[in-house]
């Protein structure tokens, strides 16, 4: 069955109340997990970037904006308890080593490598050492860079799944290139999912399943007009419900690939073939 992840990311806008509402939507729709992002802002971004002007609900600099979008350890303790109560898995993509080590205390089942971090070899080693099943996004990456990442996870004997992705927000449909799912699967002999950032509803994600994607990750939001760079490329609740419903139906339709005679075919076989026996 396709593993479906509701990417909350930073669409909570620093609000635990919004985060809980998004978790509730993911649970109600039938998603398998929700995902967040964690950064040590001063380590991920340069001082020049952080000091640059940027209007946001939290101030007039990029630093204030980035810090406003970050949850604290205490916040994640609340999220951890809430997800356990709601019986849904949660995990994160950590963008630096300090964040990755900090988050170990929550003992989440999965890890995630963001596309931006695929070439951060020290971080990849830190993640792979944990030996948790890890989803690795491959946006803006060459095959050679993906190969290096795969080697790190295989060196640590850490199970992983590549995710075909495109790192523009939103993605142009003519750049989706979903056949890369099959290319990655053939080259690396592993499961391959799809992490989407398109505005065109959920058709691309459904098509990805048809092409063999074993997981689907989509950003979700309460309202695409809310503040935030990821909101426009996110699914609102009705879209998420349709996405999950259609993928679950596709899982049934696609089956397991084993040819068999179904019990429901036996009456027709008796009626239509008995003359040939």
8-state DSSP, 164: E
Arithmetic mean of pLDDT, 42-65? 96
Least confident of 96-105, 129-138, 197-206, 253-262: 197-206
Q: For residue 85, is pLDDT > 90? A: yes
Residue 214 CA to residue 133 CA, distance in Å, equals: 13
Other beta carbons within 10 angstroms of residue 76's beta carbon come to 21
Residue with the larger pLDDT of the pair 275 and 141: 141
CA neighbor of 161 nearest in space, from 129, 139, 194, 130? 194
Q: Which residues contact 67 (CB under 8 A, 6 or more apart)?
A: 41, 58
Residue 161 CA to residue 159 CA, distance in Å, equals: 7
* CB of 3 closer than 8 Å to CB of 214: yes
Q: What percent of the chain is modeled with pLDDT above 70?
A: 100
Residue 277: pLDDT band (50, 70, 90) is low
Question: Domain extents for the chain?
Answer: 3-276
| pLDDT tens digits, one per residue of 244-274 | 999 999 999 999 999 999 999 999 999 998 8
Sign of CA dihedral 46, 42, 151, 7: negative
Least confident of 20-34, 103-117, 224-238: 224-238
Which two three-digit tokens encode residue 80?
């951890």
How would you classify the pairing of strands 59-61 and 53-56?
Answer: antiparallel
- CATH H-level superfamily of 3-276: Aldolase class I (3.20.20.70)
Which two three-digit tokens encode residue 183?
């290319």
Q: Which residues contact 221 (CB under 8 A, 6 or more apart)?
A: 11, 22, 228, 230, 231, 234, 235, 236
Q: Which residues contact 65 (CB under 8 A, 6 or more apart)?
A: 54, 56, 58, 59
* CB of 30 closer than 8 Å to CB of 248: yes
Residue 196: pLDDT band (50, 70, 90) is very high
């Amino acid at each position: 069955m396709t593993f479906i992840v509701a990417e909350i990311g930073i669409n909570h806008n620093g609000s635990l109340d919004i985060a809980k509402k998004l978790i509730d939507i993911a649970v109600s729709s039938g998603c398998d997990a929700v995902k967040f992002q964690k950064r040590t802002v001063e380590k991920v971004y340069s001082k020049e970037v952080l000091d640059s002007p940027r209007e946001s609900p939290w101030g007039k600099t990029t630093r204030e904006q980035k810090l406003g979008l970050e949850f604290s350890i205490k916040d994640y303790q609340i999220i951890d308890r809430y997800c356990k109560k709601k019986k849904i898995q949660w995990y994160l993509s950590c963008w630096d080593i300090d964040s990755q080590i900090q988050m170990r205390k929550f003992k989440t089942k999965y890890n995630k490598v963001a596309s931006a971090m695929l070439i951060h070899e020290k971080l990849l080693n830190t993640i792979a050492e944990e030996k948790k099943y890890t989803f690795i996004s491959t946006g803006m990456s060459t095959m050679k860079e993906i190969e290096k990442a795969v080697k790190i996870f295989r060196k640590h004997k850490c199970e992983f799944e590549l995710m075909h992705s495109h790192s523009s927000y939103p993605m142009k449909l003519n750049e989706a290139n979903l056949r890369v799912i099959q290319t990655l699967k053939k080259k690396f002999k592993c499961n391959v999912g799809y992490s989407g950032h398109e505005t065109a509803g959920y058709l691309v994600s459904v098509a990805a399943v048809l092409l063999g994607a074993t997981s689907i990750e989509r950003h979700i939001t309460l309202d695409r007009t809310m503040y935030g760079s990821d909101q426009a490329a996110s699914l609102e609740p009705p879209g998420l419900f349709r996405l999950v419903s259609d993928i679950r139906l596709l899982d049934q339709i696609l089956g397991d690939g084993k040819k068999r005679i179904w019990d429901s075919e036996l009456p027709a076989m008796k009626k239509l073939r008995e003359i040939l026996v």
